[in-house]
Amino acid sequence: MKEVLRLPAKRSCTTFKIIGKSIPRLDGIPKATGVAGYIDDYDLPGHWVGGIVRSGVPHGILRGFVKDPSFDWSKVTFLTASDIPGGNFIHIVRDDYPALTEKYVKYATEALALIAAPDAETLRAALDAVKPEIDRLPAALTLDEGLEANVKVWGEDNILDEYRVACGDLEKGFAESDVVVEGTYETGLQEQMYLETQGAAAIPLPDGGMEVILSLQCPYYVHNAVVQVLGLPKDKVVVRQAETGGGFGGKEDYSSMMGAWAALLAWKSGHAVKLVYDRKEDLETTPKRHPSRIRQKMGFRKDGALVAMEADLLLDGGAYTTLTRVILQRATLHATGAYRVPNAMIRGRAIATNTPPTGAFRGFGAPQVFFAVERNMDKAAKILGMDPLDLRLRNVIRDGDLMPHNQRLEEGVSAEAVLLRAAELSGYREKRAAYSARQADGLTRGGRARRGIGLSVVMHGGGFTGSGEDNMGTTVRLDYKDGLFRVLCSSVDMGQGSATVLPMIAAEALGIEVEFVRALPADTDVVPDSGPTVASRTTMFVGAAVYDACRNMTEKLQKYLCEENGGKLTVLDAARAFAARNGEGKLSAEGIYKGPKPASHANPWNDEKFSGDAYKGYSWLATVVELEADTDTYEAVPAHVTAVAEIGRVIHPTLAEGQLAGGILQSLGWAHIEDLSITPEGRYSTSRMSSYLVPTTLDTPGWTIEIMENPCPAGAFGAKSLGELPCNGGAPAFLSALDNALGVFAEKIPAGGEYLFGLLNPKLP
């Protein structure tokens, strides 16, 4: 196990018994041995299977359905919008997303009707035997077509949402600048590619209620969606988590659709219904990362000081809001990057187009804006004649700085520390100089392979944006049953490790071995609402609620701890004594997230002004990518990545390193091989893993990962967020390394061979 580096201590370093140790993950053995039950493994006797009739056209008016009379429709259940017993919408941020379209078709894979059949073959025959009748309308398929608003997709202007952040005096800032550097940067769609595809099962209950089991991130989101479409009281719907084979944001909103559709079919057919996508349907229809186009304009003094920044960012939200509003908020608030900017103006807009709604993907709007800000920094470094590292060091945000959205960071700013350490560990300076020299030799001399090295510095605000964490009411229950303390919450383990990390926090807080603590899978009949598993919030905020529950538990047991054995009992002994006296299953305690006392510099978030303390802690990451580029094929392969992160407190070093490596790899895939666009028919350009390439182990670089600690008062044992941070940094570092290897400045990703070739050979047709 690698040592965790500690920053010069601002607070004394506590010694822990369990925190900071890489114990075997508690869900590891069942997953490795195939015992763990994913939704498709569930054996539901006599269940039917569900399928979806889709629009097939990007924009139009639904007139009805033509059903082939030669098919025996009595064998199946067919369900359209008019059958829905409750509200015809999936509750997310706005309720604009219909469960099933009534009239206006807005994208090509839109759900118009549902079918349930006793078996897969009958389902396929039924799906083939029905065709929607749609009068086609012209479609807006690109950001520009959306902006022009000749075709109305959403409201009058196709603007789903707009936010602004400003500080200082922009005009004055640019007037004081010696050099102004501008660029327009574009990023593409990206698929989450969780190992397990989307899936749900719904089982009608004898009392008229509904049980829904899914692969998911947010049990109570799904619960709410099912309650709405079925029009049932809350206590008649139960949502249970099946083992979840990855989400990466993709199961944040879409599980609500899956759950609602499966529940509708189960309700109408009276059978248990499974709706499980194969990879093709999953790739064709589920939300991807928002494509973006960002114009960046920065003003610098000759010495490299950043004095002004103007950014105009556009995200393509697709046909409905889904999570776009909150993704745009995060994007707008992170748009100035990890830099101090005295005069800034950020305008963020999300545009509606006739394309499948885009959604959450690890990073949640931040990767796009970091791509733009880091690219423009590299461009500026070149123009100013500075090394990209020096320009960054000159401008990184430091303790005491005020961010453009009016949040003062008094402490816990580690941008400089991670940058310096990553540069040192990777040998950045020497390599950058050596590779530049070789590049200057010309591309044809000395073999085809060219090396390059580049870096980025990014941060990520932990938890919900704005006052989200204060208003969430994050609640956790801890109980004692069969000799174990059980952590009950709606946060799920989807591979990121919460089923290990939350019990570690509880064991540390209770002063017992972790083998006596378990986290239960989420089940809305049993677990309180600790919020959704999103925004990298679990360890930091749900962990803090777990800690609070442990404190309340210890208090409850105080009598036993003191009275018996002269106060020498452990919490575990006390719990046993409690159970012996009061009966099994009687011991439980709740905990909530309540933030630390507001600091003297606190500036509570103001929704109307869209300013104030947007996050309770920022995590920091420097990523150095070293790659090898082929000057014949323009293929570029990452060879080694050095990542240095500061995430408050490290609970489980191995899991934390895994989060960093995995997220950076996803970011590298986005940067150069994951290529997905929208066809003229409004569909994704591919639905196969043979043409949508994600990094495999063969595309994985070597790793040097180091984690720094700088405990944050808001999080459990000082933890900050980690899960999404790495997705912000890989792509810009990769492109910076491409500059160094080939002398080419790429402004969009994926930066595949053809695009690079075009940049290097601009005169070729």
- To ligand MOS, the closest distance from the beta carbon of 491 in angstroms equals 11
For ligand MOS, the binding residue among 97, 163, 320, 364 (CB under 6 A) is 364
What residues contact residue 413 under an 8 Å CB cut-off, 6+ apart?
397, 398, 399, 401, 618, 620
Contact 446, 358 (CB under 8 A): no
Comparing CB distances to ligand MOS, the nearer of 367 and 752 is 367
What gap in Å lies between CA 141 and CA 509, rounded to an integer? 53
Among the listed residues 28, 178, 165, the one whose alpha carbon sits nearest the alpha carbon of residue 495: 28
> Is there binding between residue 371 and ligand MOS (CB under 6 A)?
no
Q: One symbol per residue from 716 to 755: x for binding ligand MOS (CB under 6 A), - otherwise; what is it?
A: --------x-------------------------------
3-state secondary structure of 79: strand
- To ligand MTE, the closest distance from the beta carbon of 31 in angstroms equals 11
Total residues at the site for ligand MOS (CB under 6 A)?
A: 11
CA within 13 Å, CB half, 224: 14
Torsion of CA 331, 334, 336, 340, to 10 degrees: 170
For ligand MOS, the binding residue among 360, 391, 712, 756 (CB under 6 A) is 360
Angle (nearest 5°) at CA 615 between 609 and 616: 130
538 binding partner (options ligand MTE, ligand MOS, none; Cβ < 5 to 8 Å by kind) = ligand MTE
For ligand MOS, the binding residue among 177, 190, 217, 343 (CB under 6 A) is 217
- To ligand MOS, the closest distance from the beta carbon of 562 in angstroms equals 43
> Is there binding between residue 361 and ligand MOS (CB under 6 A)?
yes
Stretch that binds ligand MOS, among 193-201, 245-253, 382-390, 444-452 (CB under 6 A): 245-253
> Is there binding between residue 254 and ligand MOS (CB under 6 A)?
no
404 binding partner (options ligand MOS, ligand MTE, none; Cβ < 5 to 8 Å by kind) = none
Q: Which of residues 516-535 bind ligand MOS (CB under 6 A)?
A: 534-535
- To ligand MTE, the closest distance from the beta carbon of 722 in angstroms equals 6
Residues in the chain: 765
- To ligand MTE, the closest distance from the beta carbon of 703 in angstroms equals 16
- To ligand MOS, the closest distance from the beta carbon of 220 in angstroms equals 14
> Is there binding between residue 531 and ligand MTE (CB under 6 A)?
no
> Is there binding between residue 288 and ligand MTE (CB under 6 A)?
no
> Is there binding between residue 252 and ligand MOS (CB under 6 A)?
yes
Q: For residue 248, is it left (φ>0), alpha (ψ between -120 and 50) or beta?
A: left
What gap in Å lies between CA 348 and CA 315, rounded to an integer? 8
> Is there binding between residue 249 and ligand MOS (CB under 6 A)?
yes
> Is there binding between residue 362 and ligand MTE (CB under 6 A)?
yes
- To ligand MTE, the closest distance from the beta carbon of 393 in angstroms equals 29
Among the listed residues 229, 239, 240, the one whose alpha carbon sits nearest the alpha carbon of residue 265: 229
What gap in Å lies between CA 350 and CA 93, rounded to an integer? 14
Q: What does each C-alpha distance from 665 to 188, 286, 673, 735, 754 come to in angstroms?
A: 16, 21, 11, 14, 22
Contact 372, 458 (CB under 8 A): no
What gap in Å lies between CA 83 and CA 360, rounded to an integer? 30
User: At residue 403, what is the residue type?
Assistant: M
For ligand MTE, the binding residue among 246, 299, 638, 750 (CB under 6 A) is 246
* CA 610 to chain CA centroid, nearest Å: 22
Q: Which of residues 695-734 bind ligand MTE (CB under 6 A)?
A: 722-724
Report phi then psi at 643, rounded to 5.
-130, 130
What gap in Å lies between CA 271 and CA 279, rounded to an integer? 25
Stretch that binds ligand MOS, among 119-127, 358-366, 385-393, 515-523 (CB under 6 A): 358-366
683 binding partner (options ligand MOS, ligand MTE, none; Cβ < 5 to 8 Å by kind) = none
Angle (nearest 5°) at CA 582 between 577 and 588: 85
> Is there binding between residue 538 and ligand MTE (CB under 6 A)?
yes
- To ligand MOS, the closest distance from the beta carbon of 330 in angstroms equals 9
> Is there binding between residue 498 and ligand MTE (CB under 6 A)?
yes
- To ligand MOS, the closest distance from the beta carbon of 535 in angstroms equals 5
- To ligand MOS, the closest distance from the beta carbon of 229 in angstroms equals 23
CB-based burial, 620-637: b 16+ in 10 Å, e otherwise: bbbbbbbbbbbbeebebb
- To ligand MOS, the closest distance from the beta carbon of 494 in angstroms equals 9
What gap in Å lies between CA 637 and CA 631, rounded to an integer? 12
Contact 125, 286 (CB under 8 A): no
- To ligand MTE, the closest distance from the beta carbon of 699 in angstroms equals 18
Stretch that binds ligand MOS, among 197-205, 247-255, 643-651, 696-704 (CB under 6 A): 247-255
> Is there binding between residue 667 and ligand MTE (CB under 6 A)?
no
- In sequence order, what are the beta bridge partners of 401? 409
Contact 265, 276 (CB under 8 A): no
For ligand MTE, the binding residue among 248, 547, 620, 634 (CB under 6 A) is 248
For ligand MTE, the binding residue among 535, 545, 671, 742 (CB under 6 A) is 535
Q: Environment class of residue 321 by beta-carbon count within 10 Å: exposed (0-12), middle (13-18) or buried (19+)?
A: buried
Comparing CB distances to ligand MOS, the nearer of 52 and 535 is 535
Comparing CB distances to ligand MOS, the nearer of 406 and 496 is 496
> Is there binding between residue 545 and ligand MTE (CB under 6 A)?
no
> Is there binding between residue 253 and ligand MOS (CB under 6 A)?
no
What gap in Å lies between CA 200 and CA 266, rounded to an integer? 11
Q: Is the dihedral of CA 393, 396, 400, 401 positive or negative?
A: positive
What gap in Å lies between CA 686 and CA 580, rounded to an integer? 61
3-state secondary structure of 338: coil
Comparing CB distances to ligand MTE, the nearer of 240 and 537 is 537
For ligand MTE, the binding residue among 289, 431, 537, 720 (CB under 6 A) is 537
- In sequence order, what are the beta bridge partners of 630? 449
> Is there binding between residue 214 and ligand MOS (CB under 6 A)?
no
246 binding partner (options ligand MOS, ligand MTE, none; Cβ < 5 to 8 Å by kind) = ligand MTE
Q: For residue 336, is it left (φ>0), alpha (ψ between -120 and 50) or beta?
A: alpha
Comparing CB distances to ligand MTE, the nearer of 59 and 362 is 362
> Is there binding between residue 533 and ligand MTE (CB under 6 A)?
yes
Give me the residue whose beta carbon is nearest to ligand MOS.
249
- To ligand MTE, the closest distance from the beta carbon of 445 in angstroms equals 44
The residue ranges that bind ligand MTE (CB under 6 A) are: 246-249, 362, 494-496, 498, 533-539, 659, 722-724
What is the binding site for ligand MOS (CB under 6 A)? 217, 247, 249, 252, 360-362, 364, 534-535, 724
